[in-house]
Chains A and B, each alone.
Chain A
Amino acid sequence: MGSFRRDKDDDDEGSTSLYQNLEKTSVLQETRTFNETPVNARKCIQILTKILYLINQGEQLVSREATECFFAMTKLFQSKDIVLRRMVYLGIKELSSIAEDVIIVTSSLTKDMTGKEDLYRAAAIRALCSITDNTMLQAVERYMKQCIVDKNGAVSCAALVSSYKLAGQAGDVVKRWANEAQEALNNDNVMVQYHALGLLYYIRKNDRLAVSKLVNKLSRNSLKSPYALCMLIRISCKLIEEENLSGEELSDFPMFQFVESCLRHKSEMVIYEAAHAIVNFKNTPSRVLSPAFSILQLFCSSPKATLRFAAVRTLNKVAMTHPAAVTTCNLDLEGLITDSNRSVATLAITTLLKTGAESSVERLMKQISSFVAEISDEFKVVVVQAICSLCTKYPRKHTVLMSFLSGMLREEGGLEYKTSIVDTIITIIEENTESKESGLSHLCEFIEDCEHTSLAVRILHLLGKEGPYSNNPSKYIRFIYNRVILENPIVRSAAVSALGQFGASCPTLLGNILVLLNRCQMDPDDEVRDRATYYLHILQTNKMELYKRYIIDRNTSSLILLEKALSDYLNGNFNDKFDLAIVPKAAVVKVETKDEAMIVSNNAVRPTKITREEVSAAKVMQIPGIKELGPLHKTCPTTQLTESETEYTVQCVKHIFESHVVFQFDCLNTLPDVILENVRVEITPPEEFEIKGIIPCQKLPYNELGSCFVILKFPEDVLHSAATFGATLRFTVIDCDPTTGEPDSDVGYSDEYMLEDFEISVADLILKTKKSNFNAIFDEANTEEWVEAEDTFALSTVSTIQEAVNSILKFLGLGPSQNTETVAEGTHTHTLLCSGTFKNGADILLKAKLALADGVTMHLTVKTTEPDVADLVISAIG
């Protein structure tokens, strides 16, 4: 077998040797042949092919090499050989982005483009447009217009496609070709129709009226090209979406009727596009929905894998918006679970899981366990993600799901697969207190035999956080200490930290923990010893507040921004000490529901997301003088202070410090013919506030975002911290040339622009926190430093408990704990637990008991360390 295989390879080499082991320098040397006269077409074609092959294999040419090669190629225009000429065009396109002075071939190409040889013309146009820049475009404009309406389809297509590509950089010029494109739309050639529609839409897409006229006209005289029809369906959908119609209005809307009529087209491509569009509208009436779903159902049983795939993908996507309709296809979907195409099978499973009712969970899990061993890791991950969202949906089913997951955890599998299972278990534990004990013990068993360091570390961290509050904390100690004996240094350090947590939170275990930590001080690894010493030292002090500050509640800075701040510091001077306070704290980000993850896209792992707030926070910390205000407490989400389509748009970002607030105004100038200077926002604060400083934006050219700032001091009285502000944008206007941006004169005139009022609400002053053991903390908060306030309210504006919960969280800006932000349907009482930190560092714990009876009644208990804060919170609700 081995020798046979080698023979075959040798054979291959013989036939393809022409392109094997090519060397860039020697191939480029061969381009000298291009200079010979008469041109040896055959030889030159071969050399050109070699060059293009090399580039296609990923070889990079430097600018000089490309330029030399390009100029050698221009000699080949002498030859009349058609293939050679076409290869030259290909070469021009390939090298145009690297070589210099490529416009040298413009005249040769223009000649070919307007010549008689049809086989040259189309390709010459496309080559020409790859080397043309804005200034040259004017010169060829006349020819382009002619070519767009040329009777030869290929020429017309080439011209349209090239115009489409040019429209990105030279929109103004291409806009003038709209009439020609309109004419091309009537061409009999199907591809010309398609390209003309694409170009026309691109030119007019900002003119709503023109687009809807275009669609109305074209939807009547049926286009022949299926591609053009698909495009037209997409354009219609975009217009319909913007209309925001209700179900009935939708089915009477002419454009929608057009999409519906496409369901009866003869091309599968168009039928599918239409069905896909119809089911994607949220409020399609069921009368129209059912034929669309029947089509998808039909596709599900097609012998073509692509059709099945397309149908299941669409069903998967709309499973949440039209669950009832998708359920009608369940039988077909179940048939697809064993599909030979793995992508189809996985999509089918996840769709079923999404639409599965609570009662069918057991059956589905049984079905999955029958084939889970056969599928690849990649798909197992998708299944696990589907299970994860099932857990969130049906918290009562956690025992079934948890035992299934722990079974999966014990099987063979790669890191990614295991990580997704552990993630899911952790999510269940966090959201469902009942499942905590069993989840933790599954995880404990898992780390006994876990080869993945990163997972072991995460689980140990979780044990440290959750374990101390379980019914029997001591049983976890054995699992954790085993890690200290058996594992590598990274896991050992994590285990030591977990032990420290137990020591700080469980006074009964403190003695034992101290003994264990003492032993860890003998560890051969530095980090493990350091951590052991650190925890030992703090735990021996026996001071609760030290435990709290240095072990239990350690603030974490946003890691990405910390890294950036540190590298900036390393590049600066070392005279100043590094100040950790300038790095914003990591925000508690709510994990978004993973609906998107359920559609199989094994995207490369996304880099950790920095929120927009974190970015602007980092920006504001760089303003001179800001550091003196102390650490940044919170950055609030952006508020719009103008309508989005005005001359100037202004957004406000509020940065809250302990006793100051910094308003950051992001201004955008949308007028191309003016430059704004000295842009600042003048605000009228209530008298308790004191303006400390205004930092204007020096210059604001067209379409650039500039920021100006206002710094205010909060009133001494906490109760007045929330307030409303009026604002006016003031600036100096200087007229300028819209094309170059050069100012017409040096002097401008001042002008102003009224902005909408904005406010600092109580929610802005509070930073969300997420306490995983809310009840324990709440009960412990009865020492002297805590103040408690209570009140009862009748909430008249809301009619359901869920609405009440949503509005409490919104008004107070607190973070919910233990999944209490979702209210089970049909219940009449609910307890909401939430917590936050006030701008002066005071912890706020809030327990709201809600009851439904002719409106919602609420009993609020607030515990905090500052009396004024408690009053403020209560008043925010009142």
Chain B
Amino acid sequence: MKMDGFLEPSLNIIKGMCILDNDGRRIMAKYYDKNVLPTVKEQKTFEKNLFSKTHRANSEIIMLDGLTCVYKSNVDLFFYVMGSTQENELILLSVLNCLYDSISLILKKFVEKKSVMENLEIIMLAFDEICDGGIILDADPASVVKRVGDLRNDELGIGEPTVAQVLQSAREQIKMALLK
């Protein structure tokens, strides 16, 4: 009660991380606090709710059901990192960036559902290297990738770029051109 304004110092920072596809279906999800969304049913309802609130608004952060969620999307994927509403949002954001950048490095920038599914085992390992039981294990994408990405020596099955990927990279290029 006395610690009203302050968080109890602890390494357990992350309450959950997930990746959803563009229909809001779960690709990967992990929840680390057994008091927060303890059952699969609650988790799925939460994800559905989260997706419906975030898939259109492109605004990076939302408070939902007593959790602060930072998010990011690309082509047909949505990445989320959840923490307590008292948590330092910038820490959560740094973890989200690490998750996204690591996956982007692993997939050679083709961050979309097809390549995630084709390399699911590596994505799972990366998930595990970033956060273990709610504790941030590593937040540097390069070092995460070093621990999991090198394992396959460029065997990654990246085939022909899909229409979506081409569009995406075209969009990026236009954006860059505009910025100049």
Are the chains A and B members of one assembly? Answer: yes
Residue in contact with A230 in the complex, picked from B85, B91, B137, CB distance below 8 Å: B91
* Residue pair A58, B9 in contact (C-beta under 8 Å): no
Segment with Cβ contacts to B, from A12-20, A287-295, A748-756:
A12-20
Interface centre among B5, B128, B136, by most chain A C-beta atoms within 10 angstroms, is: B5
Residue A181 interfacial (CB < 8 Å): no
Binary B-proximity of A233-244 (CB < 8 A = 1, otherwise 0)? 011011001100
Cβ of B88 and Cβ of A272 under 8 Å apart? yes
- List 6 A-B pairs, Cβ < 8 Å: A49-B120, A241-B5, A280-B5, A310-B89, A341-B57, A341-B59
Binary flags per residue of B130-157, CB closer than 8 Å to A gives 1, else 0: 0011011111100100011001100000
State whether the Cβ of B50 lies closer than 8 Å to any Cβ in chain A: no
B113 within 8 A of A: yes
Known contacts: A231-B9, A304-B60, A601-B66. The answer to whether A161 contacts B148 by CB under 8 A is no
Contact of A48 with B by CB under 8 A = yes
Choose the segment among A83-91, A625-633, A655-663, A845-853 that binds chain B (4+ C-beta atoms closer than 8 Å).
Answer: A83-91
Q: Nearest residue in B to A244 (C-beta to C-beta)?
A: B2
**Interface set, chain A 156-211, CB cutoff 8 A to B:** 157-158, 161, 164-165, 191, 194-195, 198-199, 201-202, 205
A residues near B43, Cβ cutoff 8 Å: 58
Chain B residues with Cβ under 8 A from A695's Cβ? none
User: What A residues does B88 contact at CB under 8 A?
Assistant: 230, 269, 272-273, 276, 310
Smallest CB separation, A743 vs chain B (Å): 35
Q: Identify B137's interface contact among A60, A157, A343, CB under 8 A.
A: A157
A119 and B133 contact, CB distance less than 8 A: no
B9 touches A227 (CB 8 A): no
Contact B63 A343 (CB under 8 A): yes
The interface size of chain A toward B, counting residues with CB under 8 Å, comes to 77
Query: Is A600 interfacial (CB 8 A cutoff)?
Result: yes
A 505-547 binary contact with B (CB < 8 Å = 1; else 0): 0000000000000000000000000000000000000000000
Which residues of B have CB within 8 Å of A86?
125, 148, 151
* Of A87, A194, A306, the contact of B125 (CB 8 Å cutoff): A87
Residues of B contacting A83 in the complex (Cβ-Cβ under 8 angstroms): 121-122, 125, 151-152
Known: A191-B138, A195-B135. A309 touches B61 (CB 8 A): yes
Interface code B1-34, partner A: CB below 8 Å = 1, 0 otherwise? 0110111111100000000000000101110000
Given A154-B143, A305-B61, 9 more contacts at CB 8 Å? A12-B114, A48-B121, A164-B11, A199-B11, A277-B6, A306-B61, A340-B57, A601-B66, A603-B66
Could you tell me the distance between the alpha carbons of A276 and B62 in the complex, rounded to whole angstroms? 19
Interface 1/0 per residue, A301-339 and B, CB below 8 Å: 000111101100100010000000000000000000000
B70 CB-CB contact with A under 8 Å: yes
A654 beta carbon closer than 8 Å to chain B: no
CB-defined interface of B50-83 with A at 8 Å, one 1/0 digit per residue?
A: 0000000101111111100010000000000000
- Whether A343 pairs with B62 at a CB distance below 8 angstroms is yes
Q: Restricting to A10-53, which residues have a CB under 8 Å from any CB of B?
A: 11-12, 15-16, 18-19, 45-46, 48-49, 52-53
A16→B6 contact, CB < 8 A: no
- Verify A15–B114 contact, CB threshold 8 A: yes
Which partner residue on chain B sits nearest A321 by CB separation? B5
Shortest B67–chain A CB gap in Å is: 9
Is A268 close to B, CB under 8 A? yes
**A280 in contact with B121 given A57-B26, A191-B139, A309-B89 (CB within 8 Å):** no
Within 8 A of B (CB), among A240-290: 241-242, 268-269, 272-273, 276-277, 280-282
Of the residues A237, A313, A601, contact of B6 by C-beta under 8 Å: A237
Contact A154 B147 (CB under 8 A): yes
**Shortest Cβ distance from residue A417 to the other chain B in the assembled complex, whole angstroms:** 16
Say if the beta carbon of B117 comes within 8 Å of chain A: yes
Closest to B159 in A: A15
> Which A residues contact B (CB, under 8 angstroms)?
11-12, 15-16, 18-19, 45-46, 48-49, 52-53, 56-58, 60, 82-83, 86-87, 90, 93, 119, 122-123, 126, 154, 157-158, 161, 164-165, 191, 194-195, 198-199, 201-202, 205, 227, 230-231, 234-235, 237-238, 241-242, 268-269, 272-273, 276-277, 280-282, 304-307, 309-310, 313, 317, 340-344, 599-604
Within the complex, the shortest CB–CB distance from A339 to chain B, in Å, comes to 8
Which range contains the number of B residues in contact with the other chain? Answer: 35 or more
B90→A268 contact, CB < 8 A: yes
List 5 A-B pairs, minimum CB-CB distance, nearest first.
A58-B40, A198-B11, A341-B59, A280-B5, A305-B60
Decide yes or no whether B118 CB sits under 8 A from chain A: yes
In the complex, what distance in Å separates the CA atom of A604 from the CA atom of B64? 10
Most buried by A among B9, B28, B60, B66: B9
A45 to B5, CA, bound (A): 47
Minimal beta-carbon separation of B126 from chain A (angstroms): 11
Is B167's CB within 8 Å of the partner chain A? no
B14 to chain A, nearest CB (A): 12
The distance from the CB of B62 to the nearest CB of chain A, in whole angstroms, is 5
The smallest C-beta distance from B22 to any residue of chain A, in angstroms, reads 10
B94 contacts A by Cβ under 8 Å:
yes
Contact residues in B for A310 (Cβ distance below 8 Å): 88-90
A269 in contact with B65 given A18-B117, A165-B133, A231-B9 (CB within 8 Å): no
A161 to B135, Cβ gap below 8 A? yes
Q: How far is the CB of B5 from chain A (nearest CB, A)?
A: 4
Interface pair A191/B137, CB less than 8 Å apart:
yes
Say yes or no: A122 contacts B147, CB within 8 Å.
yes
Considering the chains assembled together, what is the distance between the CA atoms of A73 and B133 in angstroms?
22
A161 touches B11 (CB 8 A): yes
State in angstroms the CA–CA spacing of A235 and B11 once bound together: 12
Query: What's the minimum C-beta distance from B96 to chain A, rounded to whole angstroms?
Result: 9
CA distance A82 to B148 in the complex (A): 10
Min CB distance A232 to B, Å, is 8
Contact B114 A342, beta carbon cutoff 8 Å = no
Shortest B50–chain A CB gap in Å is 12
Distance, CA A223 to CA B151, complexed state (A): 32
- Is A126 in contact with B64, judged by CB distance below 8 angstroms? no
Max chain B Cβ within 10 angstroms of own Cβ: one of A53, A83, A238, A306: A306
Q: Is B170 an interface residue (CB 8 A)?
A: no
State whether A341 and B117 are in contact (beta carbons under 8 Å apart), knowing that A56-B28, A58-B43 are contacts in the complex: no
Q: Residue of B at shortest CB range from A50?
A: B120
Interface contact B29-A238, CB-CB below 8 Å: no
Given the complex of chains A and B, what is the CA–CA distance between A313 and B92 in angstroms?
A: 15
Measured CB to CB, the closest approach of chain A to B75, in angstroms, equals 12
Q: Report if A90-B11 is in contact (Cβ < 8 Å); known contacts: A161-B137, A342-B57, A600-B63.
A: no
Distance A281 CA – B2 CA, assembled complex (angstroms)? 12
Write out the residue numbers on chain A whose beta carbons fall within 8 Å of the beta carbon of B11: 161, 164, 194-195, 198-199, 202, 231
Which one of B90, B117, B128, B152 lies within 8 Å of A16 (CB-CB)? B117
Residues of B within 8 A of A154 (CB): 138, 143, 147
- Evaluate contact between B9 and A234: CB separation under 8 angstroms: yes
Question: What residues of chain B lie closer than 8 Å to A12, measured between beta carbons?
Answer: 113-114
Known: A58-B43, A86-B148, A273-B88. A16 touches B63 (CB 8 A): no
In the bound assembly, the distance between CA atoms of A82 and B150 in angstroms comes to 10
In-complex Cβ contact of A241 among B3, B90, B91, B94 (8 A): B3
Q: Shortest distance in angstroms between A603's beta carbon and chain B's nearest beta carbon?
A: 5
Is there contact, CB below 8 Å, between A234 and B7?
A: yes
C-alpha spacing A45/B118, complex, angstroms: 12
- Whether the Cβ atoms of B132 and A269 lie closer than 8 Å is no
- Which B residues are in CB contact (< 8 Å) with A242? 2
Chain B residues near A599 (CB, 8 Å)?
85
| A238 with B113: CB separation less than 8 A | no
Q: Looking at the complex, which one of B5, B85, B90 makes contact with A269 (CB distance below 8 Å)?
A: B90
Residues A56 and B26 in contact in the complex (CB < 8 Å), given A304-B60, A305-B59, A343-B63:
yes
CA distance A12 to B27 in the complex (A): 13
Within the assembled complex, what's the spacing in Å between the Cα atoms of A280 and B7? 11
Chain B's nearest CB lies how many Å from the CB of A55? 10
